[in-house]
Amino acid sequence: MQFDDRQFRDFLTEKDIHALVDDLANKINADYGMNDRILLVGVLKGAFVVMADLLRRLHSDVEVDFVRTASYGKSNTSCGTITMLKDIGVDVRDRHVIIVEEIIDSGRTLKYLYERLKGANPLSLKIATLLDKRSKRVVKIDADYVGRVVDDQFLIGYGLDLEEKCRNLPAIYALKYPN
C-alpha cells in the first residue's frame, strides 16, 4: 500500500480494530453502572473515530466533549510543551470522566490533560486508548483501558494521520521504511 510516496503494510484490519474497541467497551461497561454519568473527552483530532465507535458500545449515560492540544518543540525530546487549543466546555464535578485517545506516544499530551482535568475535580478520571506505544513514553502516565500495546512505528488510518491525510482509512497501516 502506498500513500504520498511512502510504503505501508497492513497492521490492523477493520475486524481487528472492532475487536479491540469491543474489548475496551466491555471493560468500561464492567466498571461503571447504568446510572453513572460518563463524560468521554476525546483528544482531537485523532481520537474522533475511536470515540464514535466506543460511545455506541457503552451502556451508561454518556456525554461527549473534545479537547484539542498543540505541542511545541521536537516530539522526540523531553522539552515538548503542550498548550490547549480547545478546552472542555462542561463542568466535570459530577461526571465520571474518561479521556479517549487513539494512540499514546511520549505521553506528554495525556499527562498534561490528566493533570488539567484532575484539577477540575471530576467524580473519577480514567484514560482509554486504542493503541499504546509504551516503549516511547517519556513521562509517567498509564492508560486504564488499553486496546493494544504496539511497537514504535508510524501508523496511519482510523483517525491516525499522515500530515493530516489518511484519517479516513477504515483500517490501520504501518510505515515500512522510517525516513
Which residues sit at the interface with Mg ion, rule CB under 5 A?
43, 46
In whole angstroms, give the CA distance from residue 154 to residue 40. Answer: 26
Among 146, 155, 169, 172, binds ligand IMP (CB under 6 A): 155
* Residue whose C-alpha is closest to residue 161's, from 148, 173, 143, 146: 173
Scanning the structure block, which residue is given the C-alpha cell 466535570?
Answer: 92
In whole angstroms, give the CA distance from residue 41 to residue 163. Answer: 23
- In the complex with ligand IMP, the residue whose CB is nearer, 17 or 155, is 155
Q: Smallest distance from the beta carbon of 60 to ligand IMP, in angstroms?
A: 24
Of the candidates 87, 105, 132, 152, the residue annotated as catalytic is 105
- In the complex with ligand IMP, the residue whose CB is nearer, 7 or 75, is 75
* Residue whose C-alpha is closest to residue 129's, from 51, 52, 74: 51
- In the complex with ligand IMP, the residue whose CB is nearer, 11 or 32, is 11
- What phi, psi does 93 have (nearest 5°)? -65, -25
Under the binding rule (CB under 6 A), the answer on residue 161 touching ligand IMP is: yes
Answer with the entry of ligand IMP, Mg ion, none that 98 interacts with (C-beta below 5 to 8 A by kind). Answer: none
Within 97-126, which residues bind ligand IMP (CB under 6 A)? 101-110
Under the binding rule (CB under 6 A), the answer on residue 132 touching ligand IMP is: no
- In the complex with ligand IMP, the residue whose CB is nearer, 114 or 154, is 154
* Residue whose C-alpha is closest to residue 172's, from 164, 161, 163, 145: 161
- What phi, psi does 81 have (nearest 5°)? -110, 150
Q: Smallest distance from the beta carbon of 15 to ligand IMP, in angstroms?
A: 21
Q: Which amino acid is at 67?
A: V
